[in-house]
Structure 1
Amino acid sequence: MAQLTDDCFASNTLLSVDAAEALIGTRIPPLVGEEQVALADALGRVLAHDLHVPLPDPEGARFVTNAPVLPHAGGRRVQEDASHAFGTVNTPASRLDSNARLARGSTPERVVVLPAGRRLRVTDIGVAAALGCASLPVVPRVRVGVFSTGDELSAAGGARGPAQIYDSNRFTLLALLARLPTETFDLGIMPDHAGESSAALQAAAANHDLLLTSGGVSVGEEDHVRAAIEQSGRLVFWRLAVKPGRPVAMGVMRCAATGFPGKPVLGLPGNPVAAVVTFLHLARPLVLRLAGAAPEPLPRFPVEARFNHRKKVGRREYVLVRLRPSLTTPLAEKFERVGSGMQTSLTESDAFAELDEVTTAVVPGDAVQVLPFAALF
């Protein structure tokens, strides 16, 4: 069970993205425990212990490919490269160390093949199978409860009132979480009432490792998530120096059933693009930290800007762009229909151009970093 340390802080000062990620990485401990899962079910899970080299393979000269090299043997020739003419076999010359490798038993004992904290990939599953593993010890999935907030939201598939919109953020967040080592729980739409918000968060804290909300963290009269966190726990930080995504609240909730004070809750903005940006920088590293996973930097690569853009110093900014191939560096064109509330802007663009805190302007020809959606989603 994770518990934030008491030296966390909250103030009205805008917190930088790097500072927020560092706070998560240093003050939130991983979940405790492990479970054994079949190799077929281990993809994407976090390895609980180092995987070492097992006993050496049995040696024998019956299988030519795996045969031990005889002492004082010269270079090895590949049969496929040999040619036969006039009773003579000809092979190309080779180095003494070519076409051979150390036997597994020749490697030092206790060599780590896969380290603890690694989120298992397809190739890792193959390695584990090659070592004879039928199952692996992994960290339990992080149990994440997801709320949307707001009386203006209507559940998809239901009737929509005259001043309502269909709730989309909750399903976006659940889909993003599905790519992480989580077990997710759809907790529906939280109403815009202070007492009900606090009670809902308290009750949910009893059954989840992390609570994730969307909306209700700004300064409006009906934005109750931040106040609910302060009333039923404590606020860690509020407001991030990023655009889009400034109104973010992170704190810890007391569990209504046990009084345990350490269940993290993260309140993301209600605007869809802002919710995705802050998920990537806060919810994603928070889940990985709870899961005991090694830090995984977001995928980035450089492109050449083909747009003009001005921004304020001191905050990080994300601009939706479309990518175009080039003979050298890919080109990034600004997605002109801007607005963090436009859900379709994420499907009609290819990446976020990431403009750091010291940048004030971008002009065509500038080198910028992008976060490609294909690798993120």
Structure 2
Amino acid sequence: MTQTLEQIASCISGYDPNALPVAQAQEFIARLVPKVQAVERVAIRSALGRVLARDLISGIDVPSHDNSAMDGFALRGMDLADDGPTLLAVAGTGLAGQQFTGPVPPGHCVRIMTGAVMPDGLDTVIPQEFTTLNAEGLVSVPAGIVRTGDNRRLRGEDLARGDAALHAGRLLRPADLGLLASLGQAEVAVFRRLRVAFFSTGDELRSIGEPLGEGEVYDSNRYTIWAMLTRLGVDVLDLGVVRDDPQALREAFTRAAACADAVITSGGVSVGEADHTKRIMAELGEVLFWKIAMRPGRPMAIGKICEPGNAGREAILFGLPGNPVAVMVTFYAFVRDALLAMSGATAEALPPLQAVCTTGLRKKAGRTEYQRGIVSRGPDGRWQVEITGSQGSGILRSMSQANGLVVLHHGQGHVAAGDLVEVLPFDGLT
């Protein structure tokens, strides 16, 4: 049964919508968002970036036979001498895909290539660079170079028949497609793509190509949101710029709720802004308006909106602030993980980087701050991070210059030059 926002809030210790720590906002959103249920089968070349819907069970042993891990000579470990070189006659050659099946008497070996099936009765491979051939054509193996079982890959040591090769919730990566192919899987079951609609609000916004009047600006948020959504692999519906007009807003929200699993807006949720956006949000669903203890990105709306006349059709709403940097920071802090969870992906935190801060930073405890930084290697080889300069939430250029976000956590105070800080590299923000 779906919980109401009030029920979710009651589960969050110390919940205060007017001073909400980032961690509590993230916990609330994790409890709110549903997971898509529809499953489809796609060819593996169409599966990159999709979310695996079912555990993938291996129907074969990988490798399917004991095989050689080296180019060299396959032999019996019991034939190796302890007190001097072992001399072995060559019974034949085994190639990858062409197994040697002839007899291998004691005191004999088989020349073998990497990946070739081990001949019956042989259990060890000596790399060819450790051997020599004597005048009689015998292979000489020095004492102590290998032990029984060395350089042999065992049947099923990578995957045994019946093992789970990949688990449901896996966001499929390039190596996973290779693994699928190694198991002979031409298709794979994945969750359907999440559908996300988004639009910007504000009478001052103009689309690219339109002339700017006094006090007007081009809408950059739709392009950054589009780019961040595209990297997540969701289906994207851009509803453009919507003016601060109740009817236009109602039509945009109604259209979005009818076709999307999630709706993202930018602008219209701050104190002092025209309240049409907030009022229409509240009319069409169940929405909370937060003041989050963070910088940038304090105002945010979260909740559910419904398609009028279809109460069973709900879309999760993320109402982001209008400032360009705040839009990106709140997306990375809250929306990214929420959309991945809705897509069926298993939670996987972005790995932070520890870097030396090159300058001191002033920080007020009691809020989380995200500062734009440029990470590089210092003279001592350690990672270091330099702040891009002015950290105003409207300075989009600072995000373009940066290659990561310096995260100063809720309880953290001032940072001195030379202190280690946590950085989320942009290259890890998929």
- What band does the TM-score fall into relative to the shorter chain? over 0.9
Q: For the residues of structure 2 that align with 1:34 and 1:129, how far apart are their CA atoms?
A: 20
Query: Does the 8 A contact of 1:225 with 1:267 survive in 2?
Result: no
Q: Which amino acid aligns with 1:266?
A: F
Query: Does the 8 A contact of 2:258 with 2:313 survive in 1?
Result: no
Query: Does the 8 A contact of 1:306 with 1:364 survive in 2?
Result: yes
SS at match of 1:186: strand
Q: Note closer, same or farther for the CA distance 1:161–1:142 as it changes in structure 2 (3 Å cut).
A: same
Q: For the residues of structure 2 that align with 1:198 and 1:299, how far apart are their CA atoms?
A: 40
| RMSD (Å) for aligned C-alpha atoms | 2.3
Alignment pair present for 1:83 and 2:120? no
User: Which residue of structure 1 lines up, in the alignment, with residue 387 of structure 2?
Assistant: 334
User: Which residue of structure 2 lines up, in the alignment, with residue 355 of structure 1?
Assistant: 408
Q: Give the deviation of 1:27 after TM superposition.
A: 3.1
Alignment pair present for 1:220 and 2:272? yes
Residue deviations 1:318-374, cap 9 Å, x none? 111222312342111222132110111111122211101111101101110111123
SS at match of 2:338: helix
Identity %: 35
User: Which residue of structure 1 lines up, in the alignment, with residue 368 of structure 2?
Assistant: 316
Provide the aligned length of Structure 1 versus Structure 2: 375
Q: For the residues of structure 2 that align with 1:231 and 1:106, how far apart are their CA atoms?
A: 56
User: Which residue of structure 1 lines up, in the alignment, with residue 51 of structure 2?
Assistant: 46
Q: Which amino acid aligns with 2:421?
A: V
Alignment pair present for 1:242 and 2:294? yes
SS at match of 2:124: coil
Q: For the residues of structure 2 that align with 1:107 and 1:169, how far apart are their CA atoms?
A: 46
Query: Does the 8 A contact of 1:154 with 1:161 survive in 2?
Result: no
- Decide which of 194, 203, 210 is 1:158's aligned counterpart: 210
Query: Does the 8 A contact of 1:181 with 1:291 survive in 2?
Result: no
Q: Give the deviation of 1:32 after TM superposition.
A: 1.0
Larger Rg: 2
Query: Does the 8 A contact of 2:389 with 2:398 survive in 1?
Result: no
Q: For the residues of structure 2 that align with 1:229 and 1:106, how far apart are their CA atoms?
A: 52
User: Which residue of structure 2 lines up, in the alignment, with residue 8 of structure 1?
Assistant: 8
- When normalised by structure 1's length, the TM-score is 0.92
More strand by share: 2
Q: Which amino acid aligns with 1:84?
A: L
Q: Give the deviation of 1:50 after TM superposition.
A: 0.8
Which ranges of structure 2 fall in alignment gaps of 5 or more residues? 10-14, 67-93, 100-111
User: Which residue of structure 1 lines up, in the alignment, with residue 356 of structure 2?
Assistant: 304
Which ranges of structure 1 fall in alignment gaps of 5 or more residues? none
Q: Give the deviation of 1:127 after TM superposition.
A: 0.5
Residue deviations 1:110-152, cap 9 Å, x none? 2111111000001001110111111111001110001011111
Alignment pair present for 1:23 and 2:22? no
Q: Note closer, same or farther for the CA distance 1:221–1:176 as it changes in structure 2 (3 Å cut).
A: closer
- When normalised by structure 2's length, the TM-score is 0.81
